[in-house]
Amino acid sequence: MPKYYSKIVTPEQRDQILKIQEDYRPKLEALQTKINELKTQMQTLAKERDGKIEALLTPDQKKQIEEAAAKAKEKAQEKKEKKNAPAEPAKPADKPADKAPDAPAEPKPAK
């Protein structure tokens, strides 16, 4: 049960929630097992597919693809590093030295 529930629900509700969680645990665990099995099957099929595709390529094409993949990986790493780099503090807008300070407002005529 999430920690924040315990401060809100009654003891009776707490017991009911724990019972519901216990009822669903085996169902959720079974689904997670199936998901893991499907992921393994997907990885196996993808490896098989990639092997068949690679078998069609000439040695020169394989070399070109390896180089392109290395460049793409390098660019992705640079982008990731740039994204995670601390942001530079914003600099205040500089006023040109030759610009005179703003002139005071003209006084309003008396009525």
At 86 the pLDDT is 77
* Cα angle for residues 31, 32, 34 (degrees, 5° grid): 65
Quote the number of domains for the chain: 1
Q: Output the pTM of the full model.
A: 0.54
Mean of all residue pLDDT scores within the chain = 87
Which structure tokens are listed for 88?
Answer: 């530079």
In a domain, 50, yes or no: yes
Check residues 32 and 92 and name the one with the higher pLDDT. Answer: 32
Side chain identity at residue 92, one-letter code: P
Could you list the residue range(s) of the whole structural domain that residue 18 is in? 3-81
In a domain, 102, yes or no: no
In a domain, 108, yes or no: no
In a domain, 94, yes or no: no
In a domain, 96, yes or no: no
